[in-house]
Structure 1
Amino acid sequence: MLAALFFIGALLSFHPEDESLLSSLPWNDISSAEARNVADNIGNPFGLLGARLSAFFIRSFFGYPAILPGISLLFWGWSLFRQKSLKSALLFFLYMLFMAIDIAAMFGLTSMPFSDYLSGTIGRMMAAMLSTLIGLTGAWVLLIAVAAITSFYMGRGLISIFSENVRSARDNLGKPLGALSGWIEKRRKKKTEKARLKEEKKKLKHERNGVAENSETAVPAHSDSFAQPASPPYREDEEIFPAPSEQTGLPDLPQSYALTGAHAGVSGEPEMIISAGVHEKEADLDERRLKVKTKDREPYRFPSIDLLEKVPDDDNRIDEQHLTESKRKLLEKLNIYKIDVVRISTTVGPRVTLFEMELAPDVKVSRVKSLENDLAMALAARGIRIIAPIPGKNAVGVEIPNGKPKTVWLRSVLQVEKFKNSTLKLPIVLGKTIANEVFIADLAAMPHLLIAGATGAGKSVCINVIISSLLYACSPDKVKFVMIDPKRVELFHYQQLKNHFLVRFPGIDEQIITDPQKAVYALKCVVKEMELRYECLEKAGVRNIGDYNQRLPEEAIPYLVVIIDELADLMITAGREVEEPIIRIAQLARAVGIHLIVATQRPSVDVITGIIKANFPSRIAFQVASRVDSRTILDGSGAEQLLGNGDMLYQPSDQPKTMRIQGPYVSSDEVEAITTFIGAQNALKNMFVLPVPDLQKGNGASMSGMQDRDGRDSMFEDAARLVVMHQQASVSLLQRRLRLGFSRAARVMDQLEYSGIVSEADGSKAREVLVNSEDSLELLLRNLD
């Protein structure tokens, strides 16, 4: 920024007479007597360097329009100073460069005396070339068209850049200026009120004194014994206003009541208090440290917040007319059933409004709870939900959908101070509460999350939001993902994370599992990883992964997040085989940093079994079809009244009641932009590979039928001859040709690798067959025996 200011100042201070003084002085001569003499005589206040820069750029370059790229360099430095993305600065620089060249060429077409300073050598050269090629008129038309088209296409981006800077400056200056104006207004009102009270006191004092004088003159002299003493005149500082009951003649009313109607003394509806809600402090995620080093010395850069779509401007206005109408209908229906409301307050959220009603002491809560359907009919709205009572409050809550629902965008919930400075281990953003507060949970403390709801209610978007939150908060050294997607289409975007965040499985080329049998194998690999981590914790003498990583930072173990996008399909195809590893992980894996996120669109008892529910204390319910499904997920009703499109009930593990949250929306394009940004970075050298699970144990007959006396599978030799004959090795080849199941074929492949017949797995690349001929194989097999 200082260099840009120096450059702009030097160009603005250009003196044509300086060129003659500088022509005889070499560039590298800065310390001789002649150089000092020239420096004393030049007119440019920025010295020899400023004079040479101005002479070069104005004479040999674009002329004075060269100031425009200098201004863009100033903005470039400002972006670097604020640690903002340089995309906007680059756009501004290109625009200014195009405009400088275009303006220089325009002045080159003119013959004004000062046009040489406004065109420079390049401007004159371009003007001569264009006028010769397409004529003077054509050159003017072309240059004007280039300027207009460039301004049209780049101007929109520049306007948004400057509006964002102006908005940021306004937000930063708005608070102190607002506080100052508020203080001035408060002082003005205080002075006005004080003057008014003083005037009224004087007026009342004169009236009382006048009454006293008249009463004294009206009393006869012989009735002194009955005369009342005259009231003394009031002092300036004496309070003379009567009590409310003296003014109106009415009994004192509760403060929450308002007088309505034409006749005084008729009490009306309780006053409605509208809560302002929570105003989250915004923060720029790009101002944090974005570039970090990983264990294998490969740098990793966090994704920029600019990859997410910008949040549309929201006026945050409250539809008071809709609130008043809803309140009137609500109270009318309650009055029909003789339910008195003492006080009512409202909180307006993104999708629903919460009416908190304080009931009269003699009203039973169960009476309000039984009116859920009647209130829904009276308000002509779907999704009426009654909270009776609200936890921690002496009130009953009624949630009513808003007339104009608002969309919660992922960028709006990530770009807040709470998320930027979060100290949670695995922070995930679930959305906004009814009070418009951004709700951030810690997956490490849950420790597992069950997500259920009908098709299209928002489960997959919720999973994308959770993964995106972890990608913005954690580096590849801190967290790894195991993704199981039986539907095959929900998690395919995350394939680009294979070199950074996705784990690898022994014997499997895929890193996002879609086959149910492979999913069972992958979960067993996770169980084996869990057992090995417990052994590490036991040797280190610590109780959990946090203490282990703190004690041995060089051997830090990453958190492992297992995501299953559709549990129902796995339970149907694999049944008991998939339930057993899920239950083991859910019961034991918290201390070693392995956490499950399981989603299903079929919340029935044969999918969400009692054992699974017992080990998933944290649950999210989206809209479901019936109250039975809601009870299956949350052990209570309410999910059947949700509105869909991200409207959820969240059951925390440490609270008895559910919370209503509006989940944020993230599009497929945004997810793809994030994963593409991460996937384009250098791959990590040391990939995280899960261990091989233990061989399936059973009775003696089954074991003897599958293994020989050396512990190798009975199909080991046939598999060896098959891969040598085809000179290719894969688990799918063994499955097709030898009619083996996936788990058994994977074990046979591991035995072939251990015996030196095939190479180790290298990600998605095919294994190399190390034995060239069948004769060499037979010799190797005899040596193994």
Structure 2
Amino acid sequence: MVDRIQLSKAEKELLRQITDAGLRARVDQWTAARLGLARSLQNLEPPSPTAFKRQSSQPQGSTIHSNQMTGEGKGEAEDFTDLYRALLSVYEGRNLFDDDDAFHDALQQHVRRGIDAISKEWATDSDFHHYLANQLFAGVASRFEAPDIADDEIGPRIERVLGQLGVGAKILETVDGPRLTRFTLVLHELDDLDRLRRGVPKLSFALGFGEATVSVALATAERQVYLIVPRPPASWRITTWADLRPMLSEPEIRAMSLPICLGTDILGKAFVIDLADAPHLFVGGTTGSGKSMCLHSILLSLLENANAPQLVLIDPKAVEFSAYVSSKRLRGPVTTSSDDALAVLNGLVEEMDRRQEGMRRLDARNLMEARANGADMPHIVVVIDELADLILTRRAVETPLVRLAQKARSAGIHLVLATQRPEAATFPGLLRSSTPSRIALTVQKQSESRIILDEGGAESLLMRGDMLVRFAGRSTVRAHGCRVDQADIISAIRSS
């Protein structure tokens, strides 16, 4: 059983700084570790399964035993282990009372992530108590929190507020999804649609939703619209990769060239798109939005494919893709330096040119026709995490990226580009116009939503995998990501 928290030398040093320079008191390191746990639990997204994976004893590091951290085994008056289990079970959306290893793994991941966050937010020459008061413990309620309204109250309340706004409407049907409730409204008059759209901000305000906004979508029946209302996070149904994985075996999904399961739609049905039709994908979202989980869902979907593509992984921070280094589907090592990334991308441009020359000889217009004529050309999917960091560090990578985005589709080469900072400078016009499919997770500002989607909306999402997806040639739809664990990644790599 993994019943202890193993910290690296750097993490041990930060705990010492917190106790000595921050708290300025003789306290044990596990007291500071509990602050790390508190900081981690403020994030809406679980710790990355690769960035904070299980680690054993570290050279010159530190070990915190469970009886020190939670009081495990100390007797009823001092043993708070069940409280820790309950806290993490609610956060993780899984039962951690029946699996000791999973509980201690989660505890270690959260402590280490929290320590990492504190190290980035607190300057050691500043007042630590001020940091605690103003950053760690102040305003802990999310700006996306939905009010806790009883299920039997929300419908009548909506109808009452709509009446106050001059919107004639009746609720025809109510359907609960994993995180949202969809109300089907029948409008009395056509003009009620315009009044409803104009009144959505006031409706959100009247219901107490703040920035967790209500949205409106047209239904297919006469004078009917959908009113989509967020629910409190405590009532969300968490979807895991294990829940969705069987869907990739369905005949209609297997008929796709490169199916990727992003999670579920707002009613809980598996949400799958074909990357081959995308043909390139841009993913943007702030810290805690679920971007990392989205990328892992994409990669696991590709690994589950019977005709899995070759993968090219570029990870400037050398964190997110470390779990995939042993995959047989990799075209080469996981790339972490900007110079190596430039060389890899230039090599892919050369591969694209070779493939297109081969297709001309076969009189084939695309990869599928070339393969039908006997060509050995597997799909290649290039996944880049933190595109902004890569472009700012090595501006020259923009040239091969643009060439691939413009011309690589017919050669079976597809790009998945991700960033936490969607800006015009790091997602330039030529690259943007050649990457027609977009996924926007929660962002900080409407301008960032417009960079990703060419429209607002992502600034009002609910974090933790809530996303807007605009697939090439289709309207924008909302979906929710799934949770991917380290075990899911290991299983997919072994079976691919």
TM-score, normalization by structure 2: 0.66
CA contact (8 A) 1:429 1:469 kept: yes
CA contact (8 A) 2:383 2:417 kept: yes
1:651 aligns with 470
CA contact (8 A) 1:386 1:396 kept: no
1:397 aligns with 226
Percent of paired sites with the same residue: 32
1:430 aligns with 262
Amino acid of the residue matched to residue 397 of structure 1?
Y
1:578 maps to which of 391, 394, 397: 397
CA contact (8 A) 1:479 1:559 kept: yes
State the structure with bigger RCO (CA 8 A, min sep 6), 1 or 2.
Answer: 2
Q: What's the offset of the Cα at 1:454? A: 0.6
Q: What's the offset of the Cα at 1:457? A: 0.7
Provide Cα deviations, 1:115-135, integer angstroms capped at 9, x if missing partner: xxxxxxxxxxxxxxxxxxxxx
1:567 aligns with 387
Q: What is the number of residues matched between the two proteins?
A: 347
C-alpha change, 1:653 and 1:394, in structure 2 (3 Å) is: farther
SS in 2 for 1:481: strand
Q: What's the offset of the Cα at 1:438? A: 1.1
More helix by share: 1
Q: Which structure's CA Rg is the greater one?
A: 1
Q: Separation in 1 of the partners of 2:400 and 2:214?
A: 37
CA contact (8 A) 2:188 2:223 kept: no
CA contact (8 A) 2:168 2:192 kept: no
CA contact (8 A) 1:343 1:359 kept: no
CA contact (8 A) 2:174 2:184 kept: yes
Provide Cα deviations, 1:457-497, integer angstroms capped at 9, x if missing partner: 1111111111111111234xx51011100111000111011
2:22 aligns with none
C-alpha change, 1:390 and 1:578, in structure 2 (3 Å) is: farther
Provide Cα deviations, 1:423-464, integer angstroms capped at 9, x if missing partner: 111111111112322121111111111100111211111111
Q: Separation in 2 of the partners of 1:440 and 1:393?
A: 29
Q: Does 1:324 align with 2:142?
A: no
Q: Separation in 2 of the partners of 1:456 and 1:371?
A: 30
1:116 aligns with none
User: Which structure 2 residues correspond to residues 263-282 of structure 1 after superposition, within 5 A?
Assistant: none
1:669 aligns with 487
SS in 2 for 1:408: coil
Q: Separation in 1 of the partners of 2:213 and 2:269?
A: 21
User: Which structure 2 residues correspond to residues 17-32 of structure 1 after superposition, within 5 A?
Assistant: none
Q: What's the offset of the Cα at 1:628? A: 1.6
2:107 aligns with none
Q: Does 1:538 align with 2:360?
A: yes
User: Which structure 2 residues correspond to residues 452-531 of structure 1 after superposition, within 5 A?
Assistant: 452-475=284-307, 478-497=308-327, 500-504=328-332, 511-531=333-353
User: Which structure 2 residues correspond to residues 764-779 of structure 1 after superposition, within 5 A?
Assistant: none
Q: What's the offset of the Cα at 1:365? A: 3.0
2:282 maps to which of 432, 445, 450: 450
Q: Separation in 2 of the partners of 1:432 and 1:388?
A: 18
Amino acid of the residue matched to residue 567 of structure 1?
L
Q: What's the offset of the Cα at 1:391? A: 7.0
User: Which structure 2 residues correspond to residues 178-197 of structure 1 after superposition, within 5 A?
Assistant: none
C-alpha change, 1:642 and 1:618, in structure 2 (3 Å) is: same
CA contact (8 A) 2:171 2:183 kept: no
Provide Cα deviations, 1:665-707, integer angstroms capped at 9, x if missing partner: 10123313433x259xxxxxxxxxxxxxxxxxxxxxxxxxxxx
Q: Separation in 2 of the partners of 1:390 and 1:569?
A: 41
CA contact (8 A) 1:496 1:678 kept: no
2:373 aligns with 551
SS in 1 for 2:450: helix
CA contact (8 A) 1:340 1:363 kept: no
Q: Separation in 2 of the partners of 1:417 and 1:543?
A: 28
Q: Does 1:385 align with 2:217?
A: no
CA contact (8 A) 1:352 1:399 kept: yes
C-alpha change, 1:623 and 1:462, in structure 2 (3 Å) is: same
CA contact (8 A) 2:262 2:271 kept: yes
Any stretches of 5+ residues in structure 2 without a counterpart?
1-97, 100-148
TM-score, normalization by structure 1: 0.42
SS in 2 for 1:430: strand
Q: Separation in 1 of the partners of 2:181 and 2:365?
A: 45
SS in 2 for 1:440: strand
CA contact (8 A) 2:185 2:224 kept: yes
CA contact (8 A) 2:168 2:189 kept: no
1:346 aligns with 174
1:637 maps to which of 439, 453, 456: 456
SS in 2 for 1:496: coil
Provide Cα deviations, 1:580-601, integer angstroms capped at 9, x if missing partner: 1111101111111000000011
C-alpha change, 1:392 and 1:667, in structure 2 (3 Å) is: farther
Any stretches of 5+ residues in structure 1 without a counterpart?
1-155, 158-320, 505-510, 680-785
Q: Separation in 1 of the partners of 2:287 and 2:201?
A: 25
Q: What's the offset of the Cα at 1:392? A: 7.7
1:601 maps to which of 416, 420, 435: 420
1:628 aligns with 447
More strand by share: 2
Q: Which moved more, 1:359-368 or 1:383-392?
A: 383-392
CA contact (8 A) 1:329 1:378 kept: no
Provide Cα deviations, 1:537-564, integer angstroms capped at 9, x if missing partner: 0011111111111111xx4211000000
SS in 2 for 1:424: coil
Q: Separation in 1 of the partners of 2:339 and 2:436?
A: 28
Provide Cα deviations, 1:263-302, integer angstroms capped at 9, x if missing partner: xxxxxxxxxxxxxxxxxxxxxxxxxxxxxxxxxxxxxxxx
CA contact (8 A) 2:304 2:492 kept: no
Q: What's the offset of the Cα at 1:344? A: 3.2
Q: What's the offset of the Cα at 1:418? A: 5.8
SS in 2 for 1:672: helix
SS in 2 for 1:488: coil
Q: What's the offset of the Cα at 1:417? A: 7.2
CA contact (8 A) 1:351 1:402 kept: yes
C-alpha change, 1:467 and 1:324, in structure 2 (3 Å) is: same
User: Which structure 2 residues correspond to residues 156-235 of structure 1 after superposition, within 5 A?
Assistant: none
